[in-house]
Structure 1
Amino acid sequence: MAQQQLHIALVGNPNSGKTSLFNALTGLNQKVGNFPGVTVDKKTGNSQLSEHLVANIIDLPGTYSLYPRRADEWVAYKVMMDADPEIKHDLTLLVADASNLKRNLLFCSQILDLKRPVVVALTMMDLASKKGIEIDVAGLERDLGVPVVTVNPRKNKGLTQLKKVLVQAAKQVNPANSRDFIPNKEMAPQAVTQMQQLQPQLSDYGAIHYLINHENFPLNSQLQHSIEQIEIDNKFNPSKTQADEIMQRYTRIKTIMQQNVVEPDPLQRKLFTERLDNLLLHRVWGYLILLAVLFLLFQSIFWLAQFPMDAIDWSFSQLTGWFNSHLPGVWWSNLLVNGLVAGVNGVLVFVPQIMILFGLITILEDSGYMARISFLSDKLMRKVGLNGKSVMPMISGFACAVPAIMSARNIENKKERLLTILVTPLMSCSARLPVYTILIALVVPNHYYFGFLSMQGLVMMGLYLLGTVMALVVSYVLKFTIKLTEKSFFILELPVYRAPRWKNVGVTMIEKARIFITDAGRIIIVISLLLWFLSSYGPSSKMDALDARYAVLQQKATTEAQQAAYTRQYNSEKLQNSYAGILGKSIEPVITPLGFDWKIGIALITSFAAREVFVGTMATLYSVEENDNSTLKEKMNGALREDGTKVYTLPTAMSLMVFYVLAMQCMSTLAVVKRETRSWKWPTIQFIYMTALAYLMSYIAYHIF
Structure 2
Amino acid sequence: MNDTIKSKKDIFSIALIGNPNVGKSSIFNQLTGLNQKIGNYPGLTVDKATGFLKDSQRKYELVDLPGTYSLYPKSEDELIAYKILTGKQKSVDAVIVVLDACNLERSLLLGTQIMDFGLPVAFVLNMKDLAEKQGLVIKTHELYKSLGVPLALTDARKVEGLEAVKTLMKDERFAITSPFIEVQEVVSVEVLDKVRAKFDLVSDYQAFQMLVFFEQDRGLITEDKEWLRSLCKASGLDTSKAQLEEANLRIAKIQKLVNKTIVKQKEKTNSFSRKLDGFLLHPIFGYVFFLAILLLIFQAIFAWAEMPMDWIDEGFALASGWISSSLPEGVFTDFLAEGLVPGIGGIVIFIPQIALLFGFLAFLEDTGYLSRVVFLMDRFMKPLGLHGKSVVPLISGLACAIPAVMASRTISNNKERLITILVAPWMSCSARLPIYIIIIGIVIPDQAIFGINAQALALLGMYLLGTFATLAGAFVLNLLFKQNQASFLLAEMPIYRWPRWKAVGLTMFSKSKVFVLEAGKVILMISIVLWVLSSYGPSSRMDPLDDEEEALMTTAQSEEEQEEIAELFASKRLEASYMGIMGKAIEPVIAPLGYDWKIGIALITSFAAREVFVGTIATIYSIGGDVENELTIREKLASETRPDSGEKVFNLATGLSLMVFYAFAMQCMSTLAVVKRETKSWKWPVIQTVAMTAIAYLAALITYQTLV
Is residue 2:14 matched to residue 1:8?
yes
Cα gap change, 1:195/1:667 in structure 2, threshold over 3 Å: closer, same or farther?
A: same
Once the two structures are superposed, the pairs formed by residues 173-212 of structure 1 within 5 Å of their partners are 173-177=173-177, 179-185=178-184, 190-191=189-190, 194=193, 198=197, 202-209=202-209, 212=212
1:536–1:575 contact (8 Å) kept in structure 2: yes
Rounded to whole Å, the distance in 1 between the matches of 2:572 and 2:512 is 38
Cα-to-partner distance string for 1:161-201 (whole Å, 9 max, x where unaligned)? 212102222xxx54312x44345555567547855984896
What are the Cα deviations for residues 494-540 of structure 1, in whole angstroms up to 9, with x where unaligned?
Answer: 33333222222222323333444444444444444443443333322
Instruction: Return the letter of the residue paired with 2:258.
Output: M
- Once residues 24 and 279 of structure 1 are traced to their aligned partners in structure 2, the CA distance between those partners, rounded to angstroms, is 34
Deviations, residues 361-394 of structure 1 (Å, cap 9, x unaligned): 2222333322222222222223334443544554
SS in 1 for 2:180: coil
The 10-residue stretch of structure 1 (489-498 or 192-201) with the greater mean CA deviation from structure 2: 192-201
TM-score (norm 1): 0.81
Please tell me the residue identity of whatever aligns with 1:10.
L
**Once the two structures are aligned, what percentage of the paired residues are identical?**
42
- TM-fit CA distance, 1:20: 3.0
> For residues 259 and 454 of structure 1, what CA distance do their matches in structure 2 show?
68
State the partner residue of 2:56.
51
The residue type paired with residue 660 of structure 1 is: Y
User: Alpha carbons of 1:355 and 1:404: their partners in 2 closer, same or farther (altered >3 Å)?
Assistant: closer
Distance 1:322 1:360 in 2: 37
Which one is further off, 15-24 or 475-484? 475-484
Q: Please give the residue correspondences for 1:19-418 in structure 2 after superposition, counting only pairs within 5 Å.
A: 19-36=25-42, 38-82=43-87, 84=88, 86-169=89-172, 173-177=173-177, 179-185=178-184, 190-191=189-190, 194=193, 198=197, 202-209=202-209, 212-213=212-213, 232=234, 238=239, 241-263=242-264, 269-316=269-316, 318=318, 332-392=332-392, 394-395=394-395, 398-400=401-403, 402-404=405-407, 407-408=410-411, 410-411=412-413, 414=415, 416=416
Q: CA 1:78 to 1:93, structure 2 compared with 1: closer, same or farther past 3 Å?
A: same
The 5 A counterparts of 1:465-544 are 465-481=464-480, 488-544=487-543
Aligned mates of 1:293, 1:518 — CA distance in 2 = 31
The answer for the alignment partner of 1:549 in structure 2 is 548
Amino acid at match of 1:61: P
The one-letter code matched in structure 2 to 1:562 is: E
Superposed CA offset, 1:545-582 (max 9, x none): 33333333333333444333333322222222222222
Q: Distance between the aligned counterparts of 1:525 and 1:106, measured in 2?
A: 47
User: Which runs of no fewer than 5 residues in structure 1 stay unpaired?
Assistant: none
Q: Secondary structure, in 3 states, of the residue corresponding to 1:99?
A: coil
With over 3 angstroms needed to count, the CA separation of the structure-2 counterparts of 1:519 and 1:237, relative to structure 1, is closer
Which among 428, 433, 442 is matched to residue 430 of structure 2? 433
Question: One-letter code of the match for 2:143?
Answer: L
Match of 2:667 among 665, 668, 686: 665
Residue 433 of structure 2 aligns with an amino acid whose one-letter code is: Y
Within 2, Cα distance between the matches of 1:670 and 1:527?
A: 12
Q: Counterpart amino acid of 1:43?
A: K
Work out the number of aligned pairs and report it. 681
SS at match of 1:61: coil
* Cα distance in structure 2, aligned partners of 1:95 and 1:504: 18
Q: Residues 107-132 of structure 1: CA distance to partner in whole angstroms, max 9, x if unpaired?
A: 21222233321111222223323333
Deviation at 1:7, TM superposition (A): 1.8
Deviation at 1:656, TM superposition (A): 4.5
1:192-217 Cα offsets, whole Å, 9 max, x none, are 78559848964454454455456758
> 1:12, CA displacement in angstroms?
2.0
User: Within 1, Cα distance between the matches of 2:588 and 2:192?
Assistant: 77
CA contact (8 A) 1:443 1:648 kept: no
How far off its partner does 1:282 sit?
A: 0.5
Aligned-residue offset at 1:277: 1.2
TM-score where L is the length of structure 2: 0.81
Shift of 1:104: 1.0
CA RMSD, aligned part only? Answer: 4.4
Secondary structure of 1:11's match?
strand
Cα distance between partner residues in 2 of 1:559 and 1:500: 62
Amino acid at match of 1:176: I
- Which segments of 5 or more consecutive residues in structure 2 lack a partner in the other structure? 1-7
SS in 1 for 2:62: strand
1:279: how far off? 0.8
**What amino acid is aligned across from residue 72 of structure 1 in structure 2?**
D
Is 1:611 the counterpart of 2:616 in the alignment? no
In the alignment, is the contact (CA less than 8 A) between 2:320 and 2:336 conserved in 1?
no
Q: Which amino acid aligns with 1:41?
A: V
Change (3 A) 1:646 1:485: same
- Alignment-mate amino acid for residue 137 of structure 1: T
**1:281-310 Cα shifts (integer Å, max 9, x gaps):** 101101111111111122112221233233
